[in-house]
Chains A and B, each alone.
Chain A
Amino acid sequence: MSGMSADARRDLPLALVAAATTWFTMLSWQGFSDLWGRFLGPLMFVAIVVPVAGALLRAAPVPRRLGVLIHVLVVAALVWLMLGGSPFHPFSSTQALATRVGDGWLSAQTYTAPIPQTVPSIAPLLIPCGALALVAVDVLACWLRRVPLAGLALLAVYCVPISVIGNGVSKIVFLLAAAGFLVMMFLHESAHITRWGRPLGGSGKASDPNGFGVRTGASKTSASTVGAASVVLAVFLPIVIPTLHLDGLGLFGPGGNGNGIKVVNPIVDMRRNLHQGRDIPLLTVKTDDPDPSYLRLGVLTVFNGVEWTSGDRAIIPGQTANGLLPYSEQGLSGSVPTDPHNYTITATTGFDSRWLPTMFPASSVTAPGDWHWDGTTMDFLASNDSTNTAGLTWNLVADKPQYSNFEMINSLTAPLQLQQQYTALPTTLPKYVGQLAEQVTKGSHSRFEQLVRLQDWFRTNFRYSLKTPAGDGSDALMRFLAPAKGGRVGYCEQFASAFAVMARTLHIPARVAVGFLSPQKTGKGTYVFSSHDMHAWPEVYFRGSGWVKFEPTPAVRTGAAPTYTTAAVVKPHNPKNTGPSGGGRLTTDPASASASKVHDKNVDSTGTSSSHFPWTTVVLVVLVLAVLVAVCFIPGVVRRRRRRRRLEGGAEDAWLELRDTAVDLGVAWPVSRSPHETGYLLSAWFGPEPDGAPLVRPPRGRGLDPRAEGALDRIVLLVERVRYARYADDPPGLLAEDVEACIAALQHGSTRSSLRRVQWFPRSLFGGHRAAARAELDREPESVSAGGVVDHVG
């Protein structure tokens, strides 16, 4: 008994430290996702459950293998509850779990680490992995008592981000993990040493109640040395094995290094940056705009069948970025209301671009250096090689037009020159593209509606993935649009390109803009655009509204589509804008609505991550905990009720209660002892009434509690009389006080851990006394080895 409880007592600190160390080590996984709290938070809860469940199971009288199995199942059930949701609807929760894991898998395959916050979280992948690591460390360190092997498991946890992301983890994480591992080693070694016996020279009372039995400096030093050696090994192993690459599943895209970005050709550079492993901050924006998205680098106007290019740009003197820009050049009529916002943009020194990022349309751009704008595209290009954005700060005023879909539906065709220039397509373009565009937009009443249908078609029927061949030529376009296997998957470049080409086949002027999608908010009015934010989108010309952006790239990357493409058509109250009717109400595709939901879930109006608290999970976890707590309380309640009932019974009930109390406390109760002998031996376990709390090793023996011994004698006598005498009175409840006195004396002679175990896990309820009774049950059938001896007396 005492051995078991002592083991359990030693176990819990080690298990807690092991779980804490594993969790600290998993802090190195922060780099996997922008929303690392989504998986580290739940894993913290798992890290609490794993050691507690493990310690309880180890204290319970179950075989080790079964204990490990139950432990793993408990943790698996917890993870399933966290990810799957309601345990009362197993089918739907399994579906939800599969969906979440699938989404996470898709995100992991699609994006490089860190996974942006606007896409489905990879937490459903990382939570099971983390739980597995926690269980593995607990099994190794506590079940198998192989703490050094647990260090290898921790090392694996630590090496994953190093292998996948390609850079180191923070020093604090390393220090926490190393310190935790040292403490684990120390606890293990000290438990190992104290198992040899009690510390010499110390009284029982003075001995360490928590199992930190190592008293000598030498023992501490040896334990610390072993721990330190293991830590050093853990540090140097990844260095001497540089080929250790754990990304066998192809998650998190290709890796990349370097801190600088050079932009010469926007579309090529965007492709490269999106594929680059590291997300490098490039631009810091200070603005009063609550949604500073779609920051444009340049515009691609020409599609030659091989690629989209920016065409020939003539540098016209005077068209420099030194203040106000002509309004008319931007194609925006005065009837479109605007919401101007000031921007101050600062590029990092590593951002070397010959294209100046600006908002479109903008009424003013002031940038130091020789930046020229193009009259048709309103993008800014450095006029000489010495001009670039590295370390540059510039100001602009973005107009942010409030487009009206009513006006776009009713807009007139574009001016002839513009119409010709921006609907030009190479003759080599397969007819299929045009036919597909016609098919998709069939039944539309206006060009705007055609474009909305086209946009919805892209957003609904295509899948976003960076792992597709680069390119936007005719072949790539056909491959992208084909419904065959491998088709209809791509990233923003292909979406924007395909949309613009298909719009042109419908004789709608279109072009491709390249820039940044949405930034990360870092403070009030301060945002940071980074390399992974690079994006391409199509712009379509409507007379009166100018170049209006559409968003065919699916919501998983971009969030909701522009509001004017999804909102109901409302006729403005401006009499000046009356025109031919025929708009009516635009049908909003359910997919757009769901995409909008996805967007809302991930990004609020300010572009920052929302603080949606996982209430459902929390409530479920609380419920599960409540059930677990209730289950934990049940044995104690049943035991107390049984005691109460027996105390009201006769001598046999009193004796049974005494037996169960002894069994609960781990006192031997062999079946071959008579009541008298049992009573005599039981009195040796009696302890004196303590002054304060129960002691770690309370004194016990005969003569410490004469009152209880007298009570025990009375119980034994009555039991003997009831069982073996011819006549005996057995009034119910007669022995209640005596039994209570004996129980109290037994408890006074028991250790704290025994008493705790009795409270939570009374052995007598779980067949603790059956093993002793088995001797009688397993008795062999009647067979006599010698017999038939006849005593013949002469």
Chain B
Amino acid sequence: MPGPVSQGADLDTLSRVVEKVRGNIKRVIEGKPDVISSAITVLLAEGHLLIEDVPGVGKTMLAKSLARSIDCSVRRIQFTPDLLPSDVTGVSVYNQESREFEFRPGGVFANIVVGDEINRASPKTQSALLECMEERQVTVDNTTYSLEAPFMVIATQNPIEMEGTYALPEAQRDRFMVRLSVGYPVEAAEIAMLDSHTMSSPLEDLEPVTDAVEIRKLIEIVTQVHVSQAVQRYTVALTGASRRSSELALGASPRASLHLVRAAKASAAIQGRDYVLPDDVLGLASSVLTHRLLPSVEAAMGGRTTQSILESIVSSVPVPEGTRA
């Protein structure tokens, strides 16, 4: 592990930048501070975000506003049934002039990739995204192209209107660090939205408040956040308990533990702490874990949701009283 950095100053920078990004997005997305925080957390934790909600609640708006707040390359891929994998990853085209194959990068070659309605594409195309998301590289015609950091996929999907869609396979869902649900705004926020969005398009007016270089620095700061063995044990106890639960057919994977800790580190850093608390893990457990869990048939028939099963698991796992790590 790298040595301690000047934590106080770095954390201040991080807080300042995060606050600016948050304020920027807030101009577009009214009344959803938790959702905005989660999105920023995923960005700083180098994860990918899956936004799942009904149409018209601002999924794409959130993705776009986050992308626009950062001065970096942003690409949007509208997933449709006829979208090909090469549209995502890129394709090698034969250049008759130079008599060579030239690689034309696909939509994934950007710092922030907004994958709209990802479940409308075929599984083949969805899978094309997998390697990029996990390994941050694209391999086309035996040539591997690295993706520039920061790299973040913000995918949206619609839980209704499932006709003609391809539900994301478990393996792909597992690659998203966090699944969010934007939800309907409260009445006052909705009225404020009417006010601001009818006069002009706030998204168009949005100016970047940071850039890719600074985000890379912030990500580096987040990696320095300390995770004690007690918190690590607690995280593993949580995911382990989900694997042992009789109400779940599929528990959380080790990747889920990793994502949980990384997200907790980003959360701690955003709150100005250079160490992770069990509260960070607890606060993120729901958004990091629920989309990876599969309830058993009995639990599903009994009306248990993954959320309620996870709550009972969390309440049964003792918080370690911890020794110094």
B-binding residues in A (CB < 8 A): 652, 655, 670-677, 720-726, 728, 773, 775-776, 780, 782-787, 789, 791-794
Selected contact of A789 from candidates B175, B228, B253, B322, CB within 8 Å: B253
Roughly how many angstroms separate A776 CA and B317 CA in the complex, as a whole number? Answer: 7
**What 8 A-B pairs come out closest when comparing CB atoms?**
A671-B318, A725-B275, A723-B322, A726-B226, A674-B278, A791-B171, A793-B130, A776-B318
Q: Does B251 reach chain A (CB closer than 8 Å)?
A: yes
Q: A784-B243, A786-B249, A786-B251 are in contact. Are A674 and B277 (CB under 8 A)?
A: yes
A-binding residues in B (CB < 8 A): 4, 127, 130-131, 134, 170-171, 174-175, 226, 228, 230-231, 240, 243-246, 248-251, 253, 255, 274-279, 282, 294, 314-319, 321-325
Question: Which A residues lie within 8 Å of B174 (CB)?
Answer: 791
- Beta-carbon contact of B316 and A724 below 8 Å: no
Question: Which B residues lie within 8 Å of A784 (CB)?
Answer: 243-244, 251
Question: Which B residues lie within 8 Å of A677 (CB)?
Answer: 279, 282
Roughly how many angstroms separate A533 CA and B277 CA in the complex, as a whole number? Answer: 91
Measured CB to CB, the nearest residue on chain B to A774 is B318
- Beta-carbon contact of B134 and A723 below 8 Å: no
Question: Least Cβ distance of A757 to chain B in Å?
Answer: 26
Question: Which A residues lie within 8 Å of B277 (CB)?
Answer: 674, 676, 720, 724
Selected contact of B226 from candidates A655, A725, A789, CB within 8 Å: A725
- Beta-carbon contact of B250 and A672 below 8 Å: no
- Beta-carbon contact of A724 and B318 below 8 Å: no
Measured CB to CB, the nearest residue on chain A to B247 is A785
Question: Least Cβ distance of B311 to chain A in Å?
Answer: 11
Selected contact of B249 from candidates A722, A780, A785, CB within 8 Å: A785
Q: Which of A652, A672, A780 has the most CB of B within 10 A?
A: A672
Measured CB to CB, the nearest residue on chain B to A673 is B319
- Beta-carbon contact of A674 and B279 below 8 Å: yes
Question: Which A residues lie within 8 Å of B318 (CB)?
Answer: 671-672, 773, 775-776
Question: Which A residues lie within 8 Å of B130 (CB)?
Answer: 793-794
Question: Least Cβ distance of A663 to chain B in Å?
Answer: 15
**Count of A-B contacts with CB under 8 A?**
98
Show 23 A/B contacts (Cβ-Cβ < 8 Å), sorted by A.
A671-B318, A672-B314, A672-B319, A674-B277, A675-B319, A677-B282, A723-B228, A723-B323, A724-B276, A725-B226, A726-B274, A775-B317, A776-B318, A780-B244, A783-B244, A784-B244, A785-B243, A785-B246, A786-B249, A787-B243, A793-B127, A793-B130, A794-B131
Q: A674-B282, A676-B279 are in contact. Are A726 and B321 (CB under 8 A)?
A: no
Question: Which A residues lie within 8 Å of B278 (CB)?
Answer: 674-675, 724
Measured CB to CB, the nearest residue on chain B to A674 is B278
Question: Which B residues lie within 8 Å of A782 (CB)?
Answer: 240, 244
Q: Which of B174, B228, B314 has the most CB of A within 10 A?
A: B228
Roughly how many angstroms separate A725 CA and B228 CA in the complex, as a whole number? Answer: 7
Roughly how many angstroms separate A726 CA and B175 CA in the complex, as a whole number? Answer: 30
Selected contact of B315 from candidates A652, A670, A789, CB within 8 Å: A670
Selected contact of B245 from candidates A673, A674, A785, A792, CB within 8 Å: A785
Selected contact of A792 from candidates B4, B171, B230, B255, CB within 8 Å: B171
Question: Which B residues lie within 8 Å of A793 (CB)?
Answer: 127, 130-131, 134, 171
Selected contact of A723 from candidates B244, B245, B315, B321, CB within 8 Å: B321
Question: Least Cβ distance of A735 to chain B in Å?
Answer: 16
Measured CB to CB, the nearest residue on chain B to A723 is B322
- Beta-carbon contact of B315 and A672 below 8 Å: yes
Question: Which A residues lie within 8 Å of B251 (CB)?
Answer: 784-786
Roughly how many angstroms separate A775 CA and B314 CA in the complex, as a whole number? Answer: 12
Measured CB to CB, the nearest residue on chain B to A655 is B321
Measured CB to CB, the nearest residue on chain B to A793 is B130
Question: Which A residues lie within 8 Å of B294 (CB)?
Answer: 786
Roughly how many angstroms separate A773 CA and B319 CA in the complex, as a whole number? Answer: 10
Measured CB to CB, the nearest residue on chain B to A676 is B279
Question: Which B residues lie within 8 Å of A787 (CB)?
Answer: 243
Roughly how many angstroms separate A791 CA and B246 CA in the complex, as a whole number? Answer: 23
Roughly how many angstroms separate A652 CA and B230 CA in the complex, as a whole number? Answer: 14
Selected contact of A672 from candidates B226, B230, B316, B325, CB within 8 Å: B316
Roughly how many angstroms separate A627 CA and B322 CA in the complex, as a whole number? Answer: 41
Measured CB to CB, the nearest residue on chain A to B170 is A789
Measured CB to CB, the nearest residue on chain B to A724 is B228
Measured CB to CB, the nearest residue on chain B to A672 is B315
- Beta-carbon contact of A722 and B324 below 8 Å: yes
Measured CB to CB, the nearest residue on chain A to B227 is A724
Besides the contacts A783-B244, A793-B127, what 18 more A-B pairs have beta carbons closer than 8 Å? A670-B315, A674-B278, A674-B282, A675-B278, A675-B319, A723-B228, A723-B322, A724-B226, A725-B274, A726-B228, A776-B318, A782-B244, A784-B251, A786-B250, A786-B294, A789-B171, A791-B171, A793-B171
Measured CB to CB, the nearest residue on chain B to A728 is B324
Question: Which A residues lie within 8 Å of B315 (CB)?
Answer: 670, 672
- Beta-carbon contact of B246 and A672 below 8 Å: no
Question: Which B residues lie within 8 Å of A724 (CB)?
Answer: 226, 228, 230-231, 275-278, 322, 325
Measured CB to CB, the nearest residue on chain B to A677 is B279
Roughly how many angstroms separate A724 CA and B250 CA in the complex, as a whole number? Answer: 30
- Beta-carbon contact of A786 and B4 below 8 Å: no
Roughly how many angstroms separate A86 CA and B253 CA in the complex, as a whole number? Answer: 70
Q: A672-B316, A785-B249, A793-B134 are in contact. Are A726 and B275 (CB under 8 A)?
A: yes
- Beta-carbon contact of B127 and A721 below 8 Å: no
Roughly how many angstroms separate A721 CA and B4 CA in the complex, as a whole number? Answer: 16
Question: Least Cβ distance of A503 to chain B in Å?
Answer: 93
Measured CB to CB, the nearest residue on chain B to A794 is B127
Measured CB to CB, the nearest residue on chain B to A780 is B244
Measured CB to CB, the nearest residue on chain B to A790 is B171
Question: Which A residues lie within 8 Å of B226 (CB)?
Answer: 724-726
- Beta-carbon contact of A785 and B248 below 8 Å: yes
Selected contact of B317 from candidates A672, A726, A792, CB within 8 Å: A672
Roughly how many angstroms separate A726 CA and B317 CA in the complex, as a whole number? Answer: 24
Roughly how many angstroms separate A722 CA and B323 CA in the complex, as a whole number? Answer: 8
Roughly how many angstroms separate A655 CA and B321 CA in the complex, as a whole number? Answer: 10
Question: Which B residues lie within 8 Å of A671 (CB)?
Answer: 318-319
Roughly how many angstroms separate A623 CA and B197 CA in the complex, as a whole number? Answer: 87
Q: Which of A670, A674, A775, A780 has the most CB of B within 10 A?
A: A674
Q: Which of A670, A726, A789 has the most CB of B within 10 A?
A: A726
Question: Which A residues lie within 8 Å of B282 (CB)?
Answer: 674, 677
Roughly how many angstroms separate A677 CA and B277 CA in the complex, as a whole number? Answer: 11
Roughly how many angstroms separate A724 CA and B273 CA in the complex, as a whole number? Answer: 11
Roughly how many angstroms separate A426 CA and B253 CA in the complex, as a whole number? Answer: 117
Question: Least Cβ distance of A780 to chain B in Å?
Answer: 6
Roughly how many angstroms separate A487 CA and B72 CA in the complex, as a whole number? Answer: 122
Question: Which A residues lie within 8 Å of B131 (CB)?
Answer: 793-794
Roughly how many angstroms separate A379 CA and B277 CA in the complex, as a whole number? Answer: 110
Question: Least Cβ distance of A567 to chain B in Å?
Answer: 85
Q: A725-B226, A725-B228 are in contact. Are A775 and B4 (CB under 8 A)?
A: no
Question: Which B residues lie within 8 Å of A780 (CB)?
Answer: 244
Selected contact of B319 from candidates A674, A789, A791, A792, CB within 8 Å: A674
Question: Which B residues lie within 8 Å of A773 (CB)?
Answer: 318
Question: Least Cβ distance of B6 to chain A in Å?
Answer: 14
Question: Which B residues lie within 8 Å of A794 (CB)?
Answer: 127, 130-131
Question: Which A residues lie within 8 Å of B322 (CB)?
Answer: 723-724
Measured CB to CB, the nearest residue on chain A to B282 is A674
Q: A672-B314, A726-B226, A785-B251 are in contact. Are A721 and B275 (CB under 8 A)?
A: yes
Question: Which B residues lie within 8 Å of A728 (CB)?
Answer: 324
Selected contact of B316 from candidates A721, A775, A789, CB within 8 Å: A775
Q: Which of B246, B276, B316 has the most CB of A within 10 A?
A: B316
Measured CB to CB, the nearest residue on chain A to B296 is A785
Question: Which B residues lie within 8 Å of A791 (CB)?
Answer: 171, 174-175, 255
Question: Which A residues lie within 8 Å of B316 (CB)?
Answer: 672, 775
Roughly how many angstroms separate A104 CA and B171 CA in the complex, as a whole number? Answer: 89
Question: Least Cβ distance of A180 to chain B in Å?
Answer: 50
Question: Least Cβ distance of A649 to chain B in Å?
Answer: 14
Measured CB to CB, the nearest residue on chain A to B248 is A785
Question: Which B residues lie within 8 Å of A722 (CB)?
Answer: 324
Roughly how many angstroms separate A1 CA and B248 CA in the complex, as a whole number? Answer: 36
